[in-house]
């Protein structure tokens, strides 16, 4: 009987979630994606990842990225399975979902303290800082050019 009570409680909390806005990131592409109860009842791969990758592939030249090519997916810093039910994974109001393409570099660690003025930053460091710029395409409402 205890599992029935737990199941009812889980169903009740899922029903109460009318929608979830996910901040979804892969590389330099970042989108807000709103998931309705219809999508919350699907696996994460079908509800969030495939729709995001459709937009990602339109904005990114080269070979299209697929869900199967992802090395991992994190929700608020925790690695998750893309086959798990979305409503069980997205339990907070505005989760941050990060997709890692196979072979993609790990996210950069926190920046070290500023170097003394006498030291000149290497061009590679400047390029890495530029890659960290994230765009909210949905909020920008433009053609994707941040400049």
DSSP letters, 2-44, are HHHHHHHHHHHHHHH---EEEEEEETTEEEEEEE-HHHHTSBH
Q: What is the mean pLDDT of residues 63-75?
A: 95
What tokens were used for 46? 């079908």
pLDDT tens per residue, range 111-139:
444 444 444 444 444 443 333 333 344 43
Predicted pLDDT of residue 26: 95
Element (H, E) at 137: helix 137-140
103 falls in which pLDDT band (50, 70, 90)? low
**What pLDDT was estimated at residue 100?**
96
Q: Which residue has the higher pLDDT, 88 or 3?
A: 88
């Amino acid at each position: 009987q205890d599992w029935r009570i737990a199941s009812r409680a889980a169903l009740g909390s899922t029903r109460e979630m009318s929608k979830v806005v996910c901040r979804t990131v892969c590389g330099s592409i970042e989108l807000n994606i709103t998931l309705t109860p219809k999508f919350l009842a699907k696996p994460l791969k079908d509800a969030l990842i495939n729709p995001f990758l459709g937009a990602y592939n339109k904005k990114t030249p080269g070979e299209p990225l697929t869900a199967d090519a992802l090395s991992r997916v994190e929700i608020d810093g925790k690695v998750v399975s893309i086959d798990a039910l979305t409503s069980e994974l997205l339990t907070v109001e505005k989760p941050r979902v990060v997709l890692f393409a196979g072979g993609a570099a790990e996210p950069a660690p926190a920046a070290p303290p500023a170097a003394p003025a006498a030291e000149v930053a290497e061009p590679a460091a400047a390029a890495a800082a530029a890659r960290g710029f994230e765009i909210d395409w949905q909020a920008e409402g433009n053609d994707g050019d941040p400049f």
